[in-house]
């Protein structure tokens, strides 16, 4: 009488544990979506920037900055991160600096053509 109960419990435990495994079927993988975060800033957009532009003109070209530091109100940070479905990652950072409300300099991963590339960390 005790043996059938133990056998039934063992079979139930084996059946329950088999549901926790992940079957591997060649060629079939779970769907992974592409994740984009932040402001995408292209080389073309940065090339349209000119020294002396107002903050509003820069905002029209690049969009609203992702980060505005309360301690550095004259610096806008644009951060972009993309993770593709295959796991490859891309990250870009751009800092726009203003002096007296006018564009003074741009530094980061994407800079206007003809200017030296300064990567700020």
pLDDT one-digit tens code per residue, 52-110: 999 999 999 999 988 778 888 899 999 999 998 888 998 889 999 999 999 999 998 87
Annotated domain spans of the chain: 35-108
pTM of the model: 0.64
Backbone φ/ψ region at 27: left (φ over 0), alpha (ψ -120 to 50), beta = left
Residue partners of 67: CB distance under 8 A and separation at least 6:
76, 77, 78, 79
Q: How far is CA 45 from CA 30, 57, 58, 59, 110, in A?
A: 36, 12, 10, 11, 10
Select from 3.40.1350, 3.30.1450, 3.40.50, 3.10.20 the CATH code of 35-108: 3.30.1450
């Amino acid at each position: 009488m005790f043996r059938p109960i133990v056998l039934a419990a063992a079979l139930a435990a084996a059946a329950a544990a088999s549901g926790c495994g992940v079957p591997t079927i060649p060629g079939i993988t779970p769907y992974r979506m592409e994740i984009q975060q932040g402001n995408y800033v292209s080389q073309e957009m940065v090339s349209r920037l000119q020294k002396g532009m107002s903050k509003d003109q820069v905002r029209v070209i690049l969009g609203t900055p992702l980060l505005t530091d309360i301690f550095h109100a004259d610096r806008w940070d644009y951060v972009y991160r993309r993770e593709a479905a295959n796991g490859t990652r891309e990250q870009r950072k751009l800092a726009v600096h203003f002096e007296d409300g006018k564009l003074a300099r741009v530094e980061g991963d994407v800079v206007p053509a003809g200017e030296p590339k300064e990567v700020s960390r």
